[in-house]
Amino acid sequence: MPTPRFTFHQPQNLEQALDLVGMYRTNGKILAGGTDLVPKLRAGLMDVHHVVSLNRVPGLNRITFHEDDGLVIGAGARLADVALNPEVMKHYPGLAHACSVMATTQIRNMGTVAGNIVNSAPSADTAAPLLAYKAAVILVERGGRRHVPLTEFFSGPGLNVMEPMEIMEAIRVPSPPRRSGSAYLRLSARSKVDIAAVGVAGFLALDMDGVIIEARLALAAVAPTPLRCPEAEAMLAGQKPDPQLLTRAAAACVRACRPIDDVRATAAYRRKMVQVLAGRVIEQCYQTAERGDA
């Protein structure tokens, strides 16, 4: 395979990185873990003359949690570090699970959550849990900074609303309320390594009587982008789950998806699995929420 040719830049701070990204906005690419970008560069499908690495920019790999502000995942934070972060494991178990089962140990040591989101694959494993946790991304450019809710971020397979001179600086996730629970379940042909064929994430917040105050459900790998399921969420709000409600809410999730047949699964199988996994996710969320320890 021919070695891809480009000029490599290693900015030492965010200012320098923003200058470079601005300067090369037409034919430059940002590099984080490189696990998505390097294979693409090698395949020679992109006209890239400049690669700007974020890996020498200090402070980008921070992961911080405060009860009030929630979680901040810096764009340099590796999947493996997010997976093993005690606060992420405690407050955002769906995200911790996604980051610990996706890809391989080596890829998780290299790849970032931000890279997974910017890459915007329909099957991106961190996308569904982050949608369920109501995450937003922080995008910076030379002139300023904007927060974009993840629900408004993806625009198609491999596509999103970022401008070419923007850098994703961090991902912010609000703090979960006391009586809440969350989960992520994914299926793939092999248990690990393989890209997800179906991913379902959920979040439930309960009142003191165990009634659902807020429900959020999100799907991956079953539509052109990862997406939320507003119809199912509305069905659950104000209710206590029973088997019938679970079945109906899961069926609403199936209606939200627009799956395709591909090498990983058929559309029909994906629909069936959304029905099954959504039911399990809601149940799992409810059980942890009732314990009130999440």
| Interface with ligand FAD (CB under 6 A) | 29-37, 54, 75, 79, 102-104, 107, 110-112, 114-116, 118-119, 123-125, 167-168, 195-196
Instruction: Choose from another protein, ligand FAD, none: what does 227 bind? Cβ within 5-8 Å by kind.
Output: none
| β-bridge partners, 170 | 74, 138
Q: Is 105 in the site for another protein (CB under 8 A)?
A: yes
Q: Is 193 in the site for another protein (CB under 8 A)?
A: yes
Provide the pairing of β-strand 154-156 with 144-149: unpaired
The CB-of-166 to ligand FAD minimum distance in angstroms stands at: 7
Q: What is the 3-state secondary structure (H, E, C) of 115-144?
A: HHHHHCCCCCCCHHHHHHCCCEEEEEECCE
Which residues of 153-289 form beta strands (DSSP E)?
154-156, 159-160, 167-173, 180-187, 198-206, 212-220, 227-228
CA distance 234 to 98: 25
CA distance 284 to 294: 12
Only segment of 39-47, 166-174, 175-183, 268-276 that touches another protein (CB under 8 A): 39-47
**Rounded-to-10 torsion of CA 84, 88, 93, 94:** -100
Only segment of 17-25, 27-35, 131-139, 241-249 that touches another protein (CB under 8 A): 27-35
By beta carbon distance, the residue nearest ligand FAD is 115
Q: Is 53 in the site for another protein (CB under 8 A)?
A: yes
Q: Is 35 in the site for another protein (CB under 8 A)?
A: yes
| CB-based contact 10:51 (threshold 8 Å) | no
Q: Is 10 in the site for another protein (CB under 8 A)?
A: yes
The CB-of-118 to ligand FAD minimum distance in angstroms stands at: 3
The CB-of-43 to ligand FAD minimum distance in angstroms stands at: 12
Pick one of 12, 26, 27, 104: the residue that binds another protein (CB under 8 A): 104
State which residue, 194 or 290, has the beta carbon closest to another protein.
Answer: 194
Tokens of 107: 């890829």
| β-bridge partners, 139 | 146, 168
Within 10 angstroms of residue 261's Cβ, the number of other Cβ atoms is 11
The CB-of-123 to ligand FAD minimum distance in angstroms stands at: 6
Task: Give the binding site for another protein (CB under 8 A).
Answer: 1, 3-8, 10, 31, 34-35, 38-39, 41-42, 51, 53, 55, 80, 103-107, 109-110, 191-193
